[in-house]
Chain A
Amino acid sequence: MAAEVGQFALILAFVLAIVQAAAPLWGAARGEPVLMALGRAAATLQAGFVILAFGCLAASYVACDFSVALVAQHSNTQQPLAYRFAATWGSHEGSMLLWVLILAIYGGAVARFGGTLRETLQARVLGVQGLIGVAFLGFLIFTSNPFLRLSPVPLEGTELNPLLQDPGLVSHPPLLYLGYVGFSVAFAFAVAALIEGRVDAAWARWVRPWVLAAWVPLTAGITLGSLWAYYELGWGGWWFWDPVENASLMPWLLGTALLHSSLVLERRGALVSWTILLAILTFSLSLVGTFLVRSGILTSVHSFAVDPQRGIYILGIIAVTTGAALGLYAWRAPSLRTGALFSPLSREGGITLNNLFLVTLTATVFLGTFSPVFIEILKGDKISVGPPYYARTFAPLAVPLLVLVVFGPMLNWKRDAAAAVFRRVRIPAAIAGGVLLTGLVTVGWRNSVAAAGLGLAGWLVAGALAIPGRRWWAGRAELRRSIRTTPTAVFGLALAHAGLGLLTLGIVGVSAWHSDKVLTMHPGESTAFAGRTLTLQSIVLADGPNYQARQAHFDITGRGGPYSLVAERRAYASSQTTEAAIHVSPLGNLYVSGGDEADGGIVVRLWDHPLIVWIWIGGFTMALGGLVSLCDRRLRLGVAARAPAPRLAPAPAAQAPAE
């Protein structure tokens, strides 16, 4: 029953998406308020029906309704409730439904909260979103229907891939999709602006929170994915430069560029057509990411169910959306007004440089990911691109960008003087120099690159703290007041940049000083590793809810000890997983993974990961910074709605702008 309701809801949503695409675009062109209002209603209703469809699928999963083919393929009665629910988006069809769900919710949000926008702009944004909705709902209904019935009904389903039965899965894909799909709003705004042929301050003020609202979950999602790969895949790695990981990194890099350039557009009205281009490209790369995962054009360690037919459909969607948007850009962008002028040494100049670096980094990842496809076509050769490529291309570009990050917020808008800028960064510079020297003394000259990395991390963190610090120092006469009046966005900025410093700290630490060891251990044996002594106490068999576990109990003494760890190997009905035992501490993790049995003992792999935990703390701190920034009153969506006479003029910023 639920499946049929879901199916109907999905078809209704598809029809409503067609209305949402056609009515407001037509209405805006003809100046018909009724058609534009129809578009808003269609967007709200469409969101309702997609939520209903998603709820129906989730209910089928939770109730173990194996007459639904998708449920029978990805869930069974042994699976705990949380994972039966999470399995809703564990399959191709389910994840595309999640994609559409998020798109529809964003569309509904633009309809509901977009009342302060110029009515034609809001209508066009909704229309463009409706077009994307039509494409993806069509994709779902015609090529990947999640509600197909199965007959005869099996008594038991095939369980979800055990690797995915983890709290990480429950939140990783939804966060990524919130990010990917979130950029569709910026895309819709960009296309709407190109159709209107004008970009104004109200446009910029609207786009920035949407970009931020997409960037925050994307940052958190990528961080969570890295963390999940670390503890679940049992290789002790945190980033693999796999095509699917790159697929999420590219929109993140461009989204970060967009986040900064939209700031310039909002505050100074400059970089107009550049910001529009970035908005188009960021969402296009999100689509390419979806294409990459679903088409099988590249081989990847993420073995999703792939199907070239679906790949062609998604490629068609990309061809139409990106192609039309870029075509419109080529036609309209030259006639957009150019923004205010600024001198090269200014906040605008700094952000332009940041954008150049981020776009180049994106291009590097893009080339690394897709060059195998193009080289094969051109030369018939097959090549593979691995970590050495990225070590040689990505890192040398990322380091200067990280050095420049501290300067950005220290620069004045419009123009600045070099001497004054260097004076402003003298304290972070002194701290970074101190860290570098301490590093050199403790780790020695031979590790000077690592010491420089630590100095860079110190530079970033100190530079981030200097942003509110300088403000408070200037207002130290009335410190309490100056702290209270600091805009929330300043805290967000400081947190995000400090998070980048912590991320750098983690990457430097684990890259420079990690060590590992592999040996066969029998119960009672001990081994010395990285300043610790590990003893394998016992090997025990235990039962989990839907798996059998072989637990290896370890006692550890020495650095950070004493403590105990239990490394598991789980046998599920369909496959095995390794649940590594990890002792987490700020200075470094001990990672113990129990492998195959060998002559009475087990093969034990040990890793020492100095400072690695800061990678994820840094990533989440960046996301938190974005979230804090989003809470700034200046960006809060509801604020302008409470202002009088909302449709006449863009509401003034609610508070003095952040520095």
Chain B
Amino acid sequence: MRRLLALLPVAAFVIVLVGFMVGLRRDPSILPSMLIGKPLPAFTLAPLRANEAGLASVDLAGQPVLLNVFASWCGPCKEEHPTLLRLKAEGVPIVGLDWKEDAADGARWLDANGDPYLRAGNDRTGRAGIDLGVSGVPETFVVDRRGRVRYRQVGAITPQIWAETIEPLMARLKAES
């Protein structure tokens, strides 16, 4: 019994080690989505501020759009934010989904850091996030003009990711008719 007990730590360690080895081969920022090529799940979200329009899935049709999931409590969102503001200045349409917090917190955060969104909705319960398969913030979906999800970015959009992956995709989607 004592001998088996003493073997326990080394056994647990081997499992952890194998996990690390496999984990190391994966890039934590690449995430597939079940939704790729499928229409965006339907949702209707309340606005962040009382006098504004909210966000519904039907709002996203018509032109290729970035759907950015954010929250004021999320550190990497703050890192991503300057990039989003730059994209807004360049005329890229972005809509925001404020995830798992009170609308007032999200609104305050946008007031403080700048608002890159055409419109934004509050998903306090995380219900829309579940339908979208959101696993954490920040997360961004590229949605084409027919309202289909074409790409999912997990984690912050860096200028490099934008230039190498998303910008070419957006250009392609714009050319699609």
User: Would you call the interface of chain B mostly helix, strand, loop, or mixed?
Assistant: helix
Chain A hits for B125, CB < 8 A: none
Chain B hits for A318, CB < 8 A: 17, 20
Q: How many of chain B's residues touch chain A, expressed as a range?
A: 35 or more
Interface residues of B in 12-58 (CB under 8 A from A): 13-14, 16-17, 19-26, 28-29, 31
User: Are B17's CB and A242's CB within 8 A?
Assistant: no
Residue of B with least CB distance to A517: B108
Given known contacts A297-B23, A374-B19, A382-B31, A323 and B10 CB-to-CB distance under 8 angstroms: yes
Among A326-334, A526-534, A632-640, the stretch that binds chain B is: A326-334
Residue of B with least CB distance to A323: B13
Given known contacts A277-B9, A333-B6, A297 and B28 CB-to-CB distance under 8 angstroms: yes
**Contact residue among B9, B75, B155 (Cβ-Cβ distance under 8 Å from A326):** B9
Would you give 27 A-B contacts (Cβ < 8 Å), ordered by A? A242-B75, A281-B9, A291-B20, A296-B28, A297-B20, A299-B76, A301-B75, A308-B24, A311-B24, A312-B24, A322-B13, A327-B10, A329-B6, A329-B10, A330-B3, A330-B7, A330-B9, A334-B2, A374-B23, A376-B23, A376-B26, A382-B135, A382-B154, A384-B136, A386-B73, A386-B136, A595-B113
Given known contacts A322-B13, A595-B112, A383 and B24 CB-to-CB distance under 8 angstroms: no
User: Are B3's CB and A315's CB within 8 A?
Assistant: no
Q: How far is the CA of A323 from the CA of B10 in the complex (A)?
A: 7
Chain A hits for B26, CB < 8 A: 376-377
Chain B hits for A312, CB < 8 A: 24
Chain B hits for A280, CB < 8 A: 9
Chain A hits for B108, CB < 8 A: 516, 518
Chain B hits for A519, CB < 8 A: 111
Chain A residues bordering chain B, tally (CB within 8 A): 51
Residue of A with least CB distance to B114: A596
Chain B hits for A303, CB < 8 A: 79
Given known contacts A323-B14, A326-B9, A605-B112, A382 and B24 CB-to-CB distance under 8 angstroms: no
Chain B hits for A240, CB < 8 A: 75
Chain A hits for B24, CB < 8 A: 295, 297, 308, 311-312, 315
A227 to chain B, nearest CB (A): 17
A284 to chain B, nearest CB (A): 8
User: Are B135's CB and A315's CB within 8 A?
Assistant: no
User: Are A603's CB and B111's CB within 8 A?
Assistant: yes
Chain A hits for B76, CB < 8 A: 299, 301
Q: How far is the CA of A323 from the CA of B13 in the complex (A)?
A: 7
Q: How far is the CA of A273 from the CA of B9 in the complex (A)?
A: 12
A392 to chain B, nearest CB (A): 14
Interface residues of A in 297-323 (CB under 8 A from B): 297-299, 301, 303, 308, 311-312, 315, 318-319, 322-323
User: Are B6's CB and A603's CB within 8 A?
Assistant: no
Chain B hits for A277, CB < 8 A: 9
Q: How far is the CA of A160 from the CA of B21 in the complex (A)?
A: 32
Chain B hits for A139, CB < 8 A: none
Given known contacts A330-B9, A377-B22, A382-B136, A323 and B17 CB-to-CB distance under 8 angstroms: yes
B16 to chain A, nearest CB (A): 8
Q: Which of B10, B29, B74 has the most A CB atoms < 10 Å from its CB?
A: B10
Chain A 357-387, CB-CB to B under 8 Å as 1, else 0, gives: 0000000000000101110110001111011
Q: Which of B22, B28, B113 has the most A CB atoms < 10 Å from its CB?
A: B28
B81 to chain A, nearest CB (A): 10
Residue of A with least CB distance to B18: A377
Which positions in B face A, CB cutoff 8 Å?
2-3, 6-7, 9-10, 13-14, 16-17, 19-26, 28-29, 31, 73-76, 78-79, 108-109, 111-114, 135-137, 154-155
Q: How far is the CA of A331 from the CA of B6 in the complex (A)?
A: 8
A193 to chain B, nearest CB (A): 14
B151 to chain A, nearest CB (A): 15
Chain B hits for A291, CB < 8 A: 20
Chain B hits for A308, CB < 8 A: 24-25
A304 to chain B, nearest CB (A): 14
Q: How far is the CA of A239 from the CA of B108 in the complex (A)?
A: 21
Q: Does A235 make an interface contact (CB < 8 A)?
A: yes
Q: How far is the CA of A331 from the CA of B137 in the complex (A)?
A: 45
Q: How far is the CA of A318 from the CA of B76 in the complex (A)?
A: 29
Chain B hits for A595, CB < 8 A: 112-113
User: Would you call the interface of chain A mostly helix, strand, loop, or mixed?
Assistant: helix
Chain B hits for A322, CB < 8 A: 13
**Contact residue among B7, B17, B137 (Cβ-Cβ distance under 8 Å from A384):** B137
Residue of B with least CB distance to A596: B114
Given known contacts A315-B21, A595-B113, A301 and B7 CB-to-CB distance under 8 angstroms: no
Q: How far is the CA of A372 from the CA of B19 in the complex (A)?
A: 11
B30 to chain A, nearest CB (A): 9
Interface residues of A in 488-539 (CB under 8 A from B): 516, 518-520
User: Are A299's CB and B112's CB within 8 A?
Assistant: no
Q: How far is the CA of A318 from the CA of B18 in the complex (A)?
A: 12
B144 to chain A, nearest CB (A): 23
Residue of A with least CB distance to B136: A384
Q: How far is the CA of A419 from the CA of B57 in the complex (A)?
A: 66
Q: How far is the CA of A330 from the CA of B11 in the complex (A)?
A: 10
Q: How far is the CA of A331 from the CA of B109 in the complex (A)?
A: 56
Additional A-B contact list (10), CB under 8 Å, known A235-B78, A326-B9, A370-B16: A315-B20, A323-B14, A374-B19, A376-B23, A377-B26, A382-B28, A387-B73, A516-B108, A518-B109, A518-B111
Chain B hits for A281, CB < 8 A: 9
Chain A hits for B2, CB < 8 A: 334
User: Are A301's CB and B6's CB within 8 A?
Assistant: no
Q: How far is the CA of A518 from the CA of B112 in the complex (A)?
A: 6
Q: Which of A284, A330, A382 has the most B CB atoms < 10 Å from its CB?
A: A382
Residue of B with least CB distance to A605: B112
Residue of A with least CB distance to B82: A576
Residue of B with least CB distance to A384: B136
Residue of B with least CB distance to A366: B16
Chain A hits for B135, CB < 8 A: 381-384
Chain A hits for B114, CB < 8 A: 596
B120 to chain A, nearest CB (A): 16
User: Are B73's CB and A330's CB within 8 A?
Assistant: no
B17 to chain A, nearest CB (A): 6
Q: How far is the CA of A372 from the CA of B79 in the complex (A)?
A: 21
Chain A hits for B137, CB < 8 A: 384
Residue of B with least CB distance to A373: B23
Q: Which of A374, A383, A516 has the most B CB atoms < 10 Å from its CB?
A: A374
Q: How far is the CA of A280 from the CA of B78 in the complex (A)?
A: 38
User: Are A334's CB and B19's CB within 8 A?
Assistant: no
User: Are A298's CB and B10's CB within 8 A?
Assistant: no
Residue of B with least CB distance to A575: B82
Chain A hits for B3, CB < 8 A: 330, 334
Q: How far is the CA of A296 from the CA of B78 in the complex (A)?
A: 19
B115 to chain A, nearest CB (A): 10
Given known contacts A299-B28, A301-B75, A373 and B20 CB-to-CB distance under 8 angstroms: yes
A278 to chain B, nearest CB (A): 11
Which A-B residue pairs are the 5 nearest by beta carbons? A384-B136, A326-B10, A373-B23, A301-B75, A518-B112
Interface residues of A in 331-348 (CB under 8 A from B): 331, 333-334
B114 to chain A, nearest CB (A): 6
A567 to chain B, nearest CB (A): 13
